[in-house]
Structure 1
Amino acid sequence: MEDIWLGYAKRLQAIAATGLHYCSDGFDAERFTEIDSIAREMMRRLGQVPISHLRGLAEPHEGYATPKVDIRAAVFRDGQILLVREKRDNRWTMPGGFADIGLTAAENAVKETREEANLQVRATKLYQVRHRAKQAGDPDHRDYYKFFFLWVVSQRLV
């Protein structure tokens, strides 16, 4: 479960980014910029990471701040689940990543599984959607939903 203060900082930063996008008054822009800076500093301190590592936050040019979508493929064969190594931290995970624009959630999962595991899969169903901040694990300054698809292996690519 996400730390309550990290959740507050993420919400403040999203409100600031949305406010900066829609405000037309210079004084409001100054206030929202200050709130954005404070929220980013809170996240930096809570996560003990440099601000330069806080990528993926809502930005004013994006309009209304919304969560990102992370797609994961749960690929089972003979009672075992397929895991791949994340390039970012070398930890084991199910194939997937943040959704690409222009592809459906299922198409993203197929693409990620092909790229990361060299497997061609077909969806059997969307298994679950979870809010990352409500799950166990390391804190994350980004806010996103995780879509988990169940898959059947069609073939291994050469």
Structure 2
Amino acid sequence: MENTWLAHAKRLQAIASTGLHFCKDDFDRERLEEIAHIANSMLAQLGNVPVERITGLVSDFAKRYSTPMLDVRGAVIEGDRILLVRELTDGCWALPGGYADIGLSAAENIVKEIREEAGLTVTARALYSVTHKAKGLYKPDTRDFYKLYFLCERIDQAQPVAGFETTDVGFFSLDDLPPLSRGRTIESDLEAAFAFHRGETTHTLFD
């Protein structure tokens, strides 16, 4: 669960962004720009980073109605082991996935991500979890995300191979996990995948 002040700062930033997109009055625009500056300063202080880094993360600021970003992740389970990839950015491990690309469905996106990050051709069998990142035990993020988790199955016998954004790939059991990239994947994501795979859970989890 994210820090209350982080949640407030993100909400203020979103309100300012949406307000500036629709704003027609110069005086209101000035007030909204001040709110945006305060929000960005708070986020920079909370993250201990320059304010320019915060503003750079929101490339569509004031260009549309502000909504959460979308992250898709895929679980491929074989026996008692689950597929993980080692991230190039932090050297830790996660379920394959990433930002959803425009023009593809959520399921098509995760099929593409697993092919690019792990070299496997899969089909998306079920959506087992939809999570608001801010409400989970993930590493805090100044951006807001919905995370969609799919249970996937291999449709070929290719050997896993790392892609451009990953440095390694492998299957791991729950009792022998490598260090997780905690902004992307946490233990409960993997446990939920196994529960769905085994039929212990039959409905999509959401918060």
TM-score, normalized by the shorter chain, greater than 0.5: yes
Partner in structure 1 of residue 155 of structure 2: 154
Whether the 8 Å CA contact 1:96–1:113 is kept in 2: the answer is: yes
Partner in structure 2 of residue 47 of structure 1: 47
For 2:100 and 2:121, locate their aligned partners in 1 and report how far apart those are by CA, in whole Å: 18
Q: Does 1:7 align with 2:7?
A: yes
Q: Does 1:19 align with 2:29?
A: no
User: How many residues get paired?
Assistant: 157
Whether the 8 Å CA contact 1:75–1:152 is kept in 2: the answer is: yes
Partner in structure 2 of residue 33 of structure 1: 33
- The alignment's TM-score, normalised by the length of structure 1, stands at 0.94
Residues 66-125 of structure 1: CA deviation (Å, up to 9, x unaligned): 001100001111221111122222220000001000000000000000000000001110
Percent of aligned pairs sharing the same letter = 53
Partner in structure 2 of residue 87 of structure 1: 88
Give unpaired runs (5+ residues) of structure 2: 162-207
For 2:2 and 2:119, locate their aligned partners in 1 and report how far apart those are by CA, in whole Å: 33
For 2:57 and 2:98, locate their aligned partners in 1 and report how far apart those are by CA, in whole Å: 13
Q: Where do 4+ consecutive residues of structure 1 move more than 2 Å?
A: 50-58
For 2:10 and 2:89, locate their aligned partners in 1 and report how far apart those are by CA, in whole Å: 22
Instruction: Give 3-state SS (helix, strand or coil) of 2:121's partner.
Output: strand
Whether the 8 Å CA contact 1:77–1:153 is kept in 2: the answer is: no
For 1:87 and 1:66, locate their aligned partners in 2 and report how far apart those are by CA, in whole Å: 28
Give unpaired runs (5+ residues) of structure 1: none
**How far does residue 151 in structure 1 lie from its aligned partner after superposition?**
0.7
**How far does residue 128 in structure 1 lie from its aligned partner after superposition?**
0.6
